[in-house]
Structures are given as C-alpha cells and as structure tokens.
Amino acid sequence: MLIVLAALLVTAAVALSAPDTGSDPWPAARSWRDERPAPAAQGGLEPGAPEQVAPFAAPAGKPVAIHTADLPANEASGLVASRRFPGVFYWLRDGGGATAQRPRAALWTIKLGPDAHALPVRRGENFPFAQVFAAPNGDWEDVVLDDDDNLWIGDIGANDCVSEQYLYRTLEPEPDTDDPFFVTAKWPVSFPDPAEGCRTRNAEAMLWLDGELYLFAKTAKSPVYRAVFPDERGAEVELEPVAEFDAAVNKISVSTVSTDRTRLTVAGHARYWVFAADPALRGDAYLKRALQGRPVHTGTFASRAGNASVEGGSYVPGTHDLLFVAENKEMFLLPDAPSAAVAR
C-alpha cells in the first residue's frame, strides 16, 4: 500500500510542477489538465479570445491520466470518497437540464488508481453514473458518507432563498454494477435564521463528523450548523448554530476532513483554506477550535478557463492529498505527504 501511495504522490508532484513556495508545505492547486497541449487556434475566434478546449472522451477499458481528462458532465457540485471500495469517489451535479446520457438524479463515479490514473469502473467506463431513485434533483449541492457507509445527498441549494431543501439518505451499491442508489429516508430542512424576506439560506457544503451531520450556509463567514434529526421520520430537521469562520472565509462550497483528523479544508469557487485541527476533539468542539484559528494555508485554483467554479472536494483517504471537481468539468489535485499516523 505504501509503495502504491508513494508512486501516486511522486507522479502527482511531477505532473503539477508546482513553483517553489519556500517553507510553505502546500503547493498551489492546479488543474490536472494543465500539462495537456493547448489546442490549435480555430478559425472564427476573435484575437485574444479564450482557446476552445474540446471535451475529452476516455477510451473504453483504458486507465486515463487524470491530468488529461475532463469529467463527462458539467455542474459538478459535491465529491466524497467511498470507504467500502478503495479508490472510488462519488460526485454529483446540481439542478438543471438533463439528458439520458447526462442525468441529474444520479451519482457519478471516479476510481483513482496508482500514478494518478482514473481506472475503468464499469464495462470499460472511467466515469460512469448510477441513477438515484426517489430523490428528484431540485438543487443537489453535496454528498457525504456517514459512519455506517450510507451516502447522504444534500438537496440544499436555495439561490432564491425560498426553495424547499431536503436531505436524502441512500444505500451504496457495488460501483461496477448497474444497480441504482436507493433512498432509504428523506427529511425536509431549512435554516433557522434567513435574511428578511427569505424562508431559508442557500447552502452548498455538508460534513459528516463524529456521528453528526453539519451544513454550511453559503454567505458571509459561512456559519456552520449541526442537524438535529426528529424522532418522527419525515419531520423537518432542526439546524443548531455551531460556529462561523473569520470574515476572510466566505461563501464556501466544499468542506472535508483528513483521515487522521489533523486538517479541515474548506473551499469556495476560486479559493481553498486549510485549517489545522485537533484530532482529540469531537463534533462541535472540533469545528469550533479549527474555525477559531487562522488557516495554515490558502490558495487559488489555477483554472485554464479562468474560473472553474469548484463545488466538490475530498481528501484522498489515508493521505493529505485533496481532490477537487468543478462545474466546468475540470479536476484539481493538491498533493501532500501522507500523515505519519496513517503511514505507520
């Protein structure tokens, strides 16, 4: 395992060719597509217009280097790593139009192998999807994994500040089959302190931590709330305020904790913040302590398109590497060394 992980980290570091950051242990996050040769200029473009990057189609049955690939659909808006299936990540799309080949009420799969390659998951497909039954996509924004390996989908977007919001709990099927994700429970949810004239807040990030589900409002200081589930199934979930960030951290769309619990990372569309965390603390106390501190590192996403709109991210299990997905189909990696606790 250590040999495979070392190969992944060495390859990622070479691929990214990050600039020297002195004593800063976190190089700048870059798109894994950055080393792909730029396409030739196409006729009809205005001088100085952005280059048109053609969508990448992964060859059937072949591993594909992530820095050469795009996601197969846009509007990526959440990412989580599986525990049952090593290397597997699930991501979802937020609300909007759909086709049979690019559905919205579905979870999509990435399987990260050694040497930063995405491996075929099902019948030669590198990035397949599976339908989610009984969970319409109003505005899905995040997906997390609980302690019992259930996936939770947050239909928590409310850009109009009045839309209905829901939490769905689903069972994780075998990713190499056509089995769908079955919803086992559904709860309505809304924020208790909306702005005047609103019934709720917009949100894009969730976190499962120590048996509790936390939601982050996408607003100034991105306040975080703990979900209190009712005894009656289907009754509305209450959200208890827990903490908020410093004013410099705003409107986050990603939240994730490293396997060893020493780091909490949050991100917005264009920037990420890494906080040191105390692994001995639990739940609310863990978040309060981390959010009270200053980030140990912050950086921006070097998107080829200029603004990738990152809305999904997860630590790679057993490491301090971070994988991000963006609405414009780009993928990003922030590589780091594995923690000593995990390496042992």
Q: What is the DSSP string of 281-328?
A: --HHHHHHHHHHSPPSEEEE-B-TTS---EEEEEEPTTSS-EEEEETT
For 15-19, 62-66, 140-144, 316-320, which range has the lowest pLDDT when averaged over its residues? 15-19
Asked if residue 101 is part of any domain, the answer here is yes
Which of helix, strand or coil describes residue 100? coil
Nearest CA-CA partner of 129 in 108, 146, 152, 153:
108
pLDDT at 308: 85
Average pLDDT, the chain: 83
Q: How far apart are CA 285 and CA 90, in angstroms?
A: 28
Asked if residue 42 is part of any domain, the answer here is no
CATH number where 243 lies = 2.120.10
When pLDDT is cut at 50, 70 and 90, the band that residue 303 belongs to is: confident
For 187-191, 260-264, 326-330, 335-339, which range has the lowest pLDDT when averaged over its residues? 335-339
* 102-142: pLDDT as tens digits: 999 999 999 998 788 899 999 999 999 999 999 999 999 99
| Sign, CA torsion 54/59/60/65 | negative
- With 0-12 / 13-18 / 19 or more C-beta atoms within 10 angstroms meaning exposed / middle / buried, residue 56 is middle
Tell me what the mean pLDDT of segment 164-182 comes to. Answer: 96
Query: What is the percent of the chain where pLDDT is above 90?
Result: 68
Asked if residue 50 is part of any domain, the answer here is no
pLDDT at 121: 95
pLDDT at 57: 52
Cα separations in angstroms, 167 against 139, 141, 175, 265, 310: 11, 11, 22, 22, 22
Residue 288 belongs to domain spanning? 2-14+23-34+65-343
Measured CA angle at 37 (ends 32, 42), to 5 deg: 120
pLDDT at 333: 77
pLDDT at 248: 87
Asked if residue 58 is part of any domain, the answer here is no
Asked if residue 235 is part of any domain, the answer here is yes
Question: What is the torsion angle, in degrees rounded to the nearest 10, for the CA atoms of residue 130, residue 70, residue 204 and residue 30?
Answer: 140
Could you identify the residue written with the tokens 């913040």?
Answer: 273
pLDDT at 144: 98
Q: Is the pLDDT of residue 13 over 90?
A: no
Asked if residue 78 is part of any domain, the answer here is yes
Q: How many separate domains does the chain show?
A: 1
Q: Is the pLDDT of residue 171 over 60?
A: yes
DSSP 177-213: S-PPEEEEEEEEE--SSPPTT-SS--EEEEEEETTEE
Most confident region among 58-72, 254-268, 325-339 by mean pLDDT: 254-268
Asked if residue 166 is part of any domain, the answer here is yes
Q: How far apart are CA 330 and CA 31, in angstroms?
A: 7
Q: Is the pLDDT of residue 225 over 90?
A: yes
Q: Where are the beta strands (DSSP E) in 134-281?
A: 142-145, 151-155, 165-171, 181-189, 203-209, 212-217, 224-228, 238-243, 254-257, 263-267, 271-276
**Residue 101 carries which DSSP code?**
S
Asked if residue 41 is part of any domain, the answer here is no
* 191-206: pLDDT as tens digits: 999 999 999 999 999 9
- With 0-12 / 13-18 / 19 or more C-beta atoms within 10 angstroms meaning exposed / middle / buried, residue 222 is buried
Cβ–Cβ < 8 Å for 203, 215: yes
When pLDDT is cut at 50, 70 and 90, the band that residue 60 belongs to is: low
